[in-house]
């Protein structure tokens, strides 16, 4: 018997179906997902120096999920929201006012 594993990463599953709003924001972002198949991902926000300022591990992303992320206390500026799954990354730039 031969087993075949289909590892589908964040990009393949989510494509452009991840919406971050509002962007720019005062520190509260909503992530809206519309994906065909659920998957587990790590969520991380880093500053422009690459320092992680927010992280969550093993988040189950499913169809029509909306997730709120609060980043109170961070200075205004540009940050990068990263979803990582099986070595595949999806990065979106976010702005905090």
CA dist 34 and 16 (Å) reads 9
pLDDT tens, position by position, 51-86? 999 999 999 888 777 889 998 889 999 999 988 888
**pLDDT of 50 over the 90 cut:** yes
Q: In what order do the strands lie in the sheet with 28-33?
A: 18-21, 28-33, 66-70
């093993």: which residue's tokens? 58
Residue 7 has pLDDT above 50, yes or no: no
Fold of 10-96: Immunoglobulin-like (2.60.40)
Per domain, the residue ranges of the chain are 10-96
pLDDT by residue (tens digit) across 12-46?
444 446 889 999 999 999 998 877 778 889 999 99
């Amino acid at each position: 018997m031969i087993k075949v594993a289909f590892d589908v990463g964040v990009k393949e599953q989510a494509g452009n179906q991840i919406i971050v709003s509002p962007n720019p924001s005062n520190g509260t972002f909503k992530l809206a997902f519309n994906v065909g198949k659920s998957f587990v991902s790590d969520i991380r926000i880093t500053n422009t120096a690459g320092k992680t300022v927010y992280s969550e591990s093993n988040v189950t992303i499913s169809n029509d999920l909306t997730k709120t992320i609060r980043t109170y206390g961070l200075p205004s500026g540009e940050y990068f929201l990263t979803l990582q799954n099986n070595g595949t990354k999806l990065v979106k730039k976010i702005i905090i006012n």
